Structure 1
C-alpha cells in the first residue's frame, strides 16, 4: 500500500513539474523563444585607421583558424581592353612579396600544416588560408606582407600570362561545353560591358598587359581601404587584434577610382542564341533570368523559387525534365554560378542548364519547361514556402560550418565589403521567413516572364559529324 501511494505521489510531482515548466515557457516573450532557437554567428567588427575592415568570429570546436582577405575588385570592374586582368592579378599575388620569395608564401602555409587558395569572382578577389591555430600570427604577417607590396617583375608577369592563357585553353577552349554556361551566359544576357565581357580573358588582351598596368592595378585596388579581413576559428581575441594592428595598421590606403556604373537595363524581349561546340557530343540548353536587386523582398523570393524549381530531387523542373519526361539526368542551377546568392554585389542571373539526348527536340523541352512555369503560381502555398526555407536553411548551415568555417568567413567578408554589415549573416533566415505567397506571385510575374529570359543552346558539332559518318 505504501509503495502504491509513494508511486502515485511521485507521479503527481512529475505532472506538476511538467505543468509548471510548460506554464513558464508560455510566459516567455515570442521574440526570446525565436532568439534562443536560432543559430547566431559571433561577430566582432571594426575598422583600422587606414580603412581595413576587420571581422573576428570565434569558434572553439576545432584547433584551427581561417584567415580570409577579400579585395573589392573582381571581373566586373577590371580595365577595358584588359579582359581577364583581375584573374591574372590573382595569380600575381602568389609570385612573391617583400619578405617572401616566389612560392615561399605557399610553402609557408603548407609546411605549417595548412591549406590555401584564391579566386576571382564577379565583385571581389579573395585569398584564404586554413591553418593550425598556433600559427595564426605567422599567417597574418604573411598576408600583410603581400598587401604591402608585391614582387612585380617582367619575368613574373610573363610567366603568369602564360599560366592564365594555358588555363583558358584547358578549361574553356579545349573542353566540351567549355565556359558553358557560367562564362557564356553573362555575355549573352547582359548589355553593360562591365557585366557582359569575357572575364576569363581574351588571349590578345592577356598578352597586351604591361608591367605598368600591373603596378597601377596593385597600388590602386590592393589597398587596406579596399579590403576586408576575417578571422574565423579558435583564436585569442585580444592577441589577434594586436597582431592585425601590428601588421596591417601601417599599410597606407589608396585613392580609389570612381565606381563605374554596372547597372543593367530592364530586359523586355526574350533572347535566344546558339553556340556551336566542336567537342560536344550532346546538345545542351541554358536558361537565365535577370535577378531582382539585392536585399529586396523579391530577391529573397527568388532564392526560394530557386529551391522550388531546381534544387533537390523534389524540385519542379527536376521532377518534370528528369523523372517525368526523362529528357535529361542532370538539371543544374542556381543564383550566381561563381558563388552563392549572397556573395555578389552587382546585377546577377538566376540560371539552370542541362544536356539532353540528340533524339530529343529542343521544342519539346521548351514546351515542358513552359508547362512548369505557367503552373508555377498554382504550386505556391505557404506550405511550399516553408519547405523551401527548410532546404535553404540546410544548405546555408552546411556552408557556414563546412571546410572548418570557410563559408562563414566568405559571407562575413562579403557582407562587410558590400554592405558594411557583416552581422547580416545572422538575419538571412529571418529575411526568407518574411516572404509570403503574395510576394512570391509578384516575383514570378515580374522576373520569371519570358521577356526577361535568355536561352542558349549548344549545337554539338562532334555529334553531327559522327551522325554524318554513319
Structure 2
C-alpha cells in the first residue's frame, strides 16, 4: 500500500511539473522584454502535444476617436486579410493545413489573436503573428471588403437581433464622458465613411511591439522558442507614435437613469445596470462575488426567487463587464405572462435590498467561494485559457503573476465586504434602468 501511495505521489509530481504548474498549484512561466518593447511570456506544458501562440494588443474600443468608432473591432477582421508575404484569404489556410485552428476577439480594452497548433509548428505560429505585426496589408481592397463584413455583422448581431440593442442602449445611457459609452462594433457610419489613411494611422499607432504581449503556452523547448522569437520579432521596429490611453474619468453617479426602449421583440424585459469598479481593484472582488450571488446561474438569488419560487420571470440573466476601467453589471429579466414590468423590477429591488441589509449566510458564502475556486481552476486548465489569462494580467496590470493571486484575493473577501459593496454600488442612484418593450403597431 505504501509503495502504491509513493508511486501515485511521484506520478502526481511529474504530471504537475510537466504541465507547468508548481506543486502548490501555481502556474509557472518565464517572461522578458525584447529591445523593441515586446513583452514575451513562455509557459511550458509538456502534457499536451500542442502549443498556443497568441498576441494581445493593448487597444480596444476605448482607445478610439469618438468620431471614428469601431476601428479596434474592424482590425480584428482586417488582420486576416493578408500581409506582404501572405496572399489575401490565405492566412487561415496556413493554420488549417498544419492541423491547427485560430481566432481573435476584441473588447473595450484589448484585441487578442491566437493560433493553436501541433507542437512542431511553433515557427509557423510565430511567423504568422510577426507578419501581422509588421507586414499587414492595410490597403483599399481589404478595407473595402471588411467594411461590408463589419456592417453586415452589426446588422445581424445588434440591429436585427431580438434584444440585440440592449448593450448599446444601456452603455450610451450609463456613460456620458468615458469611451465605454460606445460598444466595440462601433458606429456604422463611422466605418463606412472612414478613409484608408485613417486605418493606416490606427495600425501604425497600436499594432506595434511596445503595445503587445506575445504568449506561448504548451509543448515547446525554451531555447528553441527564444531563438525563433528573436528571429521573427526582434527586428520589428518599436512604434514611434504616442499610444493613446484615455484618462477621462466617468463622473460619479448621483441619480438613477431611467428610460423605455422599443424594439422588434415579442416579450418585454427589464434591465438594471449597476456601475462597478475596475477589474483588479480592492472592491472588485467583493462586487464580483455579490454579482455571482445575485445573478449567476439558476441557483442565484434572483433566478431562484423570481423564476422558481414566485414565478414572476421566465428568465433572469446577467452580463458582468469586468473592464480595465470601471464597468457595469447588468441584470436582465423577462417577466412571466401577465406580470407587469414594474412588479418584476420591484421584486428585483427587494433582493438587492436584502443584500444591502443582511449578511450572506455561511452556507451561501461557502458555496460562492467553492464556485469561484472551481471557475478559477477551470480558467487555467487549458493552454488556450492560460495564454489569454497571462496576457490579460500583463496587459492590464503589467503583472503576469496576478494569475496566481486571484484566488487569494477572492478568499480575502469577507461577508461584511460583500454587504459593504452592496450598499456602495448596488443602489438605485448608481444604475441605469431600461424597460425594453415590443414596438407598438
Offset, 1:258: 4.4
1:88 maps to what in 2?
A: 74
CA contact (8 A) 1:195 1:347 kept: no
From 103, 122, 146, the equivalent of 2:108 is 122
> Which of 169, 178, 187 lines up with 2:172 in the alignment?
187
- The corresponding residue for 1:203 is 188
User: Are 1:192 and 1:263, in contact at CA under 8 Å, matched by a contact in 2?
Assistant: yes
Q: Does 1:380 align with 2:360?
A: yes
Conserved? CA contact 1:327–1:360, under 8 Å: yes
Structure 1 gaps of 5+ residues are 1-13, 15-34, 466-470
How far does residue 179 in structure 1 lie from its aligned partner after superposition? Answer: 3.2
How far apart are 1:201 and its partner, in Å? 2.1
Residue aligning to 2:312? 327
Could you list the per-position Cα deviations for residues 309-345 of structure 1 after superposition, in whole angstroms to 9, with x for gaps in the alignment?
A: 1123321111111111223343221421xxxx4xx31
Distance 1:38 1:392 in 2: 18
1:189–1:454 contact (8 Å) kept in structure 2: yes
SS at match of 1:76: helix
- Name the TM-score, length of structure 2 as normaliser: 0.91
Contact 1:283-1:357 at 8 Å conserved across structures:
no
- TM-score, normalised relative to structure 1: 0.86
Residue pair 2:64, 2:71 contacting (<8 A) in 1 also? yes
Work out whether 1:428 is the aligned partner of 2:401. Answer: no
Deviation at 1:392, TM superposition (A): 1.1
C-alpha contact 1:345 1:418 (8 A) present in aligned 2: yes
Q: Which of 363, 385, 393 matches 1:415?
A: 393
Partner-residue secondary structure (3-state), 1:412? helix
User: CA-to-partner distance for each residue in 1:328-376, whole Å, 9 max, x for gaps?
Assistant: 343221421xxxx4xx311211122132245210111012112211111
State the distance in 2 between where 1:68 and 1:331 align: 35
| 1:61 to partner: Cα distance | 2.0
1:298–1:440 contact (8 Å) kept in structure 2: no
Alpha carbons 1:262, 1:347 under 8 Å: kept: no
* Residue 214 (str. 1) matches residue 192 (str. 2): no
Q: Distance in 1 between matches of 2:361 and 2:259?
A: 35
In structure 2, distance between residues paired with 1:37 and 1:354:
44
CA RMSD of aligned residues (A): 2.0
Query: Could you say which residue in structure 2 is the equivalent of 1:444?
Result: 422
Any idea what SS the aligned residue of 1:354 has? strand
Alpha-carbon displacement from aligned partner over 1:33-54 (angstroms, at most 9, x marks no partner)? xx98842111111111111111
Give runs of aligned pairs for residues 345-384 of structure 1, distance below 5 A: 345-376=324-355, 377-384=357-364
Please say if 1:141 is aligned against 2:127.
yes
Q: Distance in 2 between matches of 1:263 and 1:382?
A: 37
Aligned twin of 2:287 = 302
Map Cα deviations across residues 146-165 of structure 1 (whole Å, 9 max, x no partner).
21121122111111111111
Q: Is the 8 A contact 1:147 1:222 kept in 2?
A: yes
Structure 2: segments with no counterpart, 5+ residues? 3-20
Instruction: State the distance in 1 between where 2:238 and 2:362 align.
Output: 49
Q: Which has the larger radius of gyration?
A: 1
Paired with 2:269 and 2:380, the residues of 1 have a C-alpha distance of 33
Which residue of 2 is the match for residue 230 of structure 1? 215
Distance 2:297 2:154 in 1: 31
Could you list the per-position Cα deviations for residues 243-270 of structure 1 after superposition, in whole angstroms to 9, with x for gaps in the alignment?
1111011101113234222421111111
When the two structures are aligned, how many residues end up with a matched partner?
422
